[in-house]
Each structure stands twice: as structure tokens, then as C-alpha cells.
């Protein structure tokens, strides 16, 4: 049985992006419209439970071979359904008295780490040029990822802070891309899940109400982005000549991301090192959903992983 705890839902649309027949987010909170009917839907509901940023979903662990069907139209529809607007955020009501300089710096760094989407978009359009389904989605992603620093900078503007074009251009430096398309997609699943957890931790710990509202919306968007890259990665694996090679690439990325002190030089990780707001950063880091990320990449690869899985042994054993 699949269930949603409505009181925990932040209506990010991640669940409906992965299993549109099972979840519906057209109302204020997500709900289950019907039980999954096929193994593919059961597996998608399981993935939704893992990607859900507030752990609001209960669904049995089911693993099933992915489908090669296009996903853009469904992802586009869900993105439109849950879209929030800048005018929903009451910037003029920002309570400056409760904000420390370190918190402002944290917000500025978070905004900076968003800017790399510009170069990533370019790379996606080039490297995945033959993938019409994905490249159409990138337009939605780029729009939403441009909105994120825009919202954070609007919040900072209330304190008289501004940035210039040079700052923006510096943030656009290329993020690492991999030869393996699955590797690139999985990097994005993980970084979106980390970004989502970070923004929601920021929302929970921020003393300023408008910043809390921004953190919740951005955290929701990032979770839906993770769901979207998950859908594309599943489709990519389904279409591959040798799916096991793709699965191994996925596990490699998971291993690299979490192997000791070798955190991938991804903007999401780099931003932790650049800020003085170490109390806030510690709170955010404590929320790192490592176990959930392992399970999610396991769901992608049809493997029951968890945070304790020895990935090296697994790669040697199962996926030579
Ligand atoms: S994935 Fe998002 S929309 Fe779905 S139940 Fe979780 S919080 Fe709600
Ligand atoms: Fe973002
Ligand atoms: Fe994102």
C-alpha cells in the first residue's frame, strides 16, 4: 500500500514527476489517487518515497526494470502544476533584526553555487544533443535554476547587498561533466538531493520568515529536479545496449561522491568551504541524507542498497 502523510508534504511535485498515475499534486498537498498497477509503477512509487524531501511517502521497496518511454511531457506538466512565483515571496517584509552577517554570507554563497547551471546547460545541450526528451527538459531546469539565485539575491537586496556581472560570470565556471551520460545524470540526482536537503535545513534553522519561505520553495524544486534526473537516468539505462555498464557507472559516481575526504568538486560541495557561517553549515551538513541517497541510486540500478553497502565489493562482484 502506498501512503502520503499530507501534513509533511511541501508539494514539491517530485512524487508525481516519478509516478504520475499514482500521485496527484493538483491540490494543496500530494495524495495517492490509486495503488500502483504494474511493477514499473510500484518501482516508481518506491523511488518517489526515496526522493520525497520530507519523507512523507510510504511505499514498499519494489525493484523493476525501467521503461524507455519519454518523460519530458509528464515532467513539464508537474513543474507547471507546482510552480511558485516570485511575487509569492514578501520580500518587503524581511525582518532584518533577526539576521546575522554570517547568515547573509551563507545565502550569498548558496546563490553563487546556483550559477553554474548556465555552463551545465550548455554542456547538456551539447553532450546530449541527440536526446530530444532531455534537452527539452533542460529549458525548464535552467529557468528554475535561474530563479533560485534570483530569489536569494532579492532577499539580500533588502539589506542593501548587491552583486555585479563579474560575480555572476565567475559563478558560471564549468562544473565537471563525465564521459558517461549515466554518470552525469547520477551526479545531478545526487547534487539535487543534497541541495534539497540543504535548503530545507536552511528553512528549518533560519530565524527570518521570508528566508524560511525561500528555503522551502528551493528545497522543493531541487527535490523535483532530483526526481527528473532520476527519470532520465532510468530511461537512459533502459535504452542502453548494456544496462549493467550504465549501472556500474552510477555506482562509481555514488562511490566517488561519498568516499572519504574526496567529495566531488561540485558547486554544492564547494560552497560549504567558502562560508564563515560554520554553525549554519554544520546544521545543514548534519542533514546530509546519505542513506536515502544510497537507497535512491539503488532504486535506479534495481539494487537494494543502503548507506552501509560496500560499493567497491558490490561493483567487483555484481557488475564486472
Ligand atoms: S514528493 Fe513532494 S509533493 Fe510528493 S509527498 Fe513528498 S513533499 Fe509532497
Ligand atoms: Fe537550484
Ligand atoms: Fe536543482
Query: What are the pLDDT digits (tens) for 48-104?
Result: 999 999 999 999 999 988 788 999 999 999 999 999 999 999 999 999 999 999 999
In this predicted structure, the answer to whether residue 36 has a pLDDT above a threshold of 70 is yes
pLDDT average, residue stretch 117-137? 96
In this predicted structure, the answer to whether residue 143 has a pLDDT above a threshold of 70 is yes
SS3 percent helix, strand, coil of the chain, rounded to 5, is: 65, 0, 35
Using a pLDDT cut of 90, give the percent of the chain over it. 83
Q: Where are the beta strands (DSSP E) in the chain?
A: 3-4, 23-24, 31-32, 57-58
Atom of ligand 1 nearest to the CA of 16: 4
Q: Cβ distance 155 to 94 under 8 Å? A: yes
Task: Give the pLDDT confidence score for residue 236 in this predicted structure.
Answer: 96
pLDDT average, residue stretch 207-216? 97
Task: Give the pLDDT confidence score for residue 267 in this predicted structure.
Answer: 62
Ligand 1 near 14 CB (within 6 A): yes
Query: What are the pLDDT digits (tens) for 243-292?
Result: 999 999 999 999 999 886 555 556 666 666 666 677 777 777 777 899 99
In this predicted structure, the answer to whether residue 306 has a pLDDT above a threshold of 90 is yes
Q: Report the nearest-CA residue for atom 6 of ligand 1.
A: 52
Q: Who has greater pLDDT, 318 or 158?
A: 158
Q: Which ligand is nearest to the CA of 10?
A: 1
pLDDT average, residue stretch 186-194? 96
| Ligand 2 mean position, distance from CA 148 (Å) | 5
Ligand 1 near 13 CB (within 6 A): yes
| Ligand 2 mean position, distance from CA 191 (Å) | 10
Task: Give the pLDDT confidence score for residue 283 in this predicted structure.
Answer: 74
Q: What are phi and psi of 171, to 5 degrees?
A: -70, -15
Q: Report the nearest-CA residue for atom 7 of ligand 1.
A: 9
Q: Which ligand is nearest to the CA of 220?
A: 1
Atom of ligand 1 nearest to the CA of 57: 5
Task: Give the pLDDT confidence score for residue 263 in this predicted structure.
Answer: 54
Task: Give the pLDDT confidence score for residue 21 in this predicted structure.
Answer: 95
Ligand 1 near 4 CB (within 6 A): yes
| CA distances from residue 148 to 80, 82, 139, 216, 265 in whole angstroms, order as listed | 16, 15, 15, 11, 21
Q: How many angstroms separate the CA atoms of 186 and 28, rounded?
A: 30
Our mutation pick for probing the ligand 1 site, out of 49, 51, 56, 226, counting the most ligand atoms within 8 A of Cβ, is 56
In this predicted structure, the answer to whether residue 23 has a pLDDT above a threshold of 70 is yes
Amino acid at each position: 500500500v502506498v501512503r502520503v502523510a499530507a501534513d509533511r508534504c511541501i508539494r514539491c511535485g517530485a512524487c508525481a514527476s516519478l509516478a504520475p498515475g499514482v500521485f496527484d499534486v493538483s491540490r494543496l498537498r500530494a495524495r495517492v489517487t490509486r495503488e500502483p498497477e504494474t511493477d514499473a509503477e510500484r518501482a516508481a512509487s518506491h523511488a518517489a518515497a526515496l526522493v520525497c524531501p520530507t519523507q512523507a511517502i510510504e511505499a514498499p521497496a519494489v525493484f523493476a526494470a525501467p521503461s524507455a518511454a519519454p518523460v519530458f511531457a509528464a515532467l513539464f506538466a508537474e513543474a507547471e502544476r507546482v510552480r511558485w512565483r516570485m511575487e509569492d515571496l514578501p520580500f518587503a517584509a524581511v525582518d532584518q533584526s533577526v539576521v546575522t552577517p554570517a547568515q547573509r554570507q551563507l545565502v550569498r554563497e548558496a546563490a553563487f553555487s546556483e550559477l553554474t547551471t548556465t555552463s551545465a546547460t550548455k554542456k547538456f545541450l551539447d553532450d546530449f544533443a541527440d536526446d530530444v526528451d532531455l534537452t527539452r527538459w533542460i529549458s525548464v531546469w535552467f529557468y528554475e535554476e535561474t530563479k533560485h539565485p534570483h530569489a536569494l539575491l532579492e532577499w539580500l537586496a533588502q539589506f542593501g547587498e548587491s552583486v555585479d556581472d563579474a560575480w555572476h560570470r565567475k559563478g558560471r565556471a564549468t562544473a565537471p561533466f563525465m564521459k558517461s551520460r549515466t554518470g552525469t545524470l547520477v551526479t545531478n540526482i545526487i547534487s539535487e538531493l543534497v541541495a534539497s536537503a540543504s535548503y530545507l535545513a536552511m528553512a528549518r534553522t533560519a530565524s527570518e520568515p521570508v528566508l524560511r519561505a525561500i528555503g522551502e520553495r528551493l528545497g522543493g524544486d531541487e527535490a523535483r529536479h532530483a526526481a527528473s534526473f532520476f527519470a532520465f537516468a532510468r530511461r537512459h539505462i533502459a535504452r542502453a545496449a548494456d544496462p549493467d555498464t550504465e549501472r556500474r557507472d552510477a555506482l562509481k559516481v555514488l562511490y566517488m561522491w561519498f568516499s572519504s575526504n574526496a567529495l566531488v568538486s561540485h558547486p554544492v560541495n564547494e560552497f560549504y568551504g567558502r562560508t564563515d557561517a560554520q554553525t549554519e553549515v554544520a546544521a545543514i551538513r548534519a542533514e546530509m541524507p546519505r542513506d536515502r541517497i544510497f537507497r535512491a541510486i539503488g532504486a535506479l540500478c534495481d539494487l537494494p542498497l543502503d548507506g552501509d553497502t560496500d560499493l567497491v565489493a558490490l561493483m567487483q562482484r555484481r557488475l564486472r
